[in-house]
Amino acid sequence: MTLRVDVLTLFPEVVTHYGATSILGRAAERGVWELHVHDFREATTDVHRSVDDTPYGGGAGMVLRPEPIISTIESNPAMARPVIAMTPSGRPFTQAVARELSALDGFTLLCGRYEGFDQRILDTVVDDEISLGDFVLAGGELAALCILEAVVRLRPGGLGNDESSVEESFAEGLLEYPQYTKPASFRGRDVPEILRSGDHARIARWRRAQALTKTLARRPDLLTEADLTAKDRKILAEFAVVDEPSENG
């Protein structure tokens, strides 16, 4: 089944353009997903096409009004559910959340601007809130595009080769092992000998050990969620001295 994604934004051209580019564009051509972009400014009724106003109680900045957004959602019954707002207070976006969304038939992303949404938008038409991280953006479009790419690549056919997403960082709760390509030696650094050995079983064990070691060093918090087995511990013991690219000279 094709994944339907609706996006509500004040900058439809940004979302439409990126949605037709690279991985997302090719996946759309293969029927993996379809994008429906809605400019909620089109739902305004005043001559100035206003979508924001000053906040009650005072304060800096402007707040998105409820009428245009709620009207856009209510006038499009085919719009996918759940409706997810991009907000700083939303639940953190992770690979696990990407997998959760990739299993749905569709969803809608609501992109904010200015100082955020009138609370009645969140209370009335929003089912979930997601945050990309603890930083501030001018709007939700970049966050929505990150979510789109992370989700679509997990759908069957999203990458063309479905195995590609299996071995990426976070796919199993770990960071990805180091990757090498030609030349075998570059500026005194060699590709680890084991990767040139042709011993695929040992290569697989080495890669697992590298992923575990890298995660332990850089993101030990991830290991609390990872399912480390007795086999993993044996692999770590086998490669207790982590192979590093050698330096010649």
Query: What domains can you pick out in the chain, each with its CATH number?
Result: 3-163 (3.40.1280.10), 172-238 (1.10.1270.20)
Of the candidates 171, 132, 162, 136, the residue with the CA atom closest to the CA atom of residue 148: 132
The reported pLDDT for the residue numbered 198 is: 96
Query: Which pLDDT value is given to residue 84?
Result: 98
- Pull the structure tokens for residue 8: 């509500």
Query: pLDDT tens digits, residue range 26-45?
Result: 999 999 999 999 999 999 99
Residue type, 206: W
Supply φ then ψ for residue 205, to 5 degrees: -65, -40
Q: CB-based contacts of 5: which residues, under 8 Å, 6+ apart?
A: 33, 34, 35, 36, 80, 106, 107, 108, 109, 148, 151
Query: If you average pLDDT over every residue of the chain, what do you get?
Result: 91
166 by Cβ neighbours in 10 Å (0-12 / 13-18 / 19+) ranks as exposed
Question: Which positions ≥6 away from 219 have C-beta within 8 Å?
Answer: 175
Find, among 155, 129, 126, 131, the residue nearest to 142 by Cα: 131
| Alpha carbon of residue 111 to chain centroid | 15
Whole-structure pTM value: 0.84
pLDDT in tens, 154-205: 999 999 765 555 555 566 778 999 999 999 999 999 999 999 999 999 999 9
**Can you read off the two tokens belonging to residue 192?**
């680890």
Distances, alpha carbon 148 to alpha carbons 19, 65, 87, 237, in Å: 8, 25, 16, 39
pLDDT of residue 173: 79
pLDDT band at 223 (very low <50, low <70, confident <90, very high): confident
22-29 helix and 12-19 helix, angle to the nearest 10 degrees: 70
Please give the share of the chain, as a percent, with pLDDT higher than 70. Answer: 91
Task: Express each pLDDT in 81-133 by its tens digit.
Answer: 999 999 999 999 999 999 999 999 999 999 999 889 999 999 999 999 999 99
Q: What is the pLDDT of residue 162?
A: 59
Position 24 scores a pLDDT of 98
Mean local confidence (pLDDT), 218-222: 88
How many helices (DSSP H) and strands (DSSP E) are in the chain?
8, 9
Residue 88's Cβ-count burial label (10 Å; 0-12, 13-18, 19+) is middle
Here the contacts of 48-52 (C-beta below 8 Å, separation 24 or greater) are 51/10, 51/113, 52/113, 52/114
Reported as a pLDDT band with limits 50, 70 and 90, residue 249 is very low
pLDDT in tens, 227-246: 678 888 888 888 874 444 44
pLDDT score recorded for residue 242: 44
CA distances (Å), 78 to each of 5, 95, 148, 213, 237, in order? 11, 27, 19, 47, 55
Instruction: Write out pLDDT tens, residues 146-156.
Output: 999 999 999 99
Q: What is the gyration radius of the CA atoms in the chain, in angstroms?
A: 23
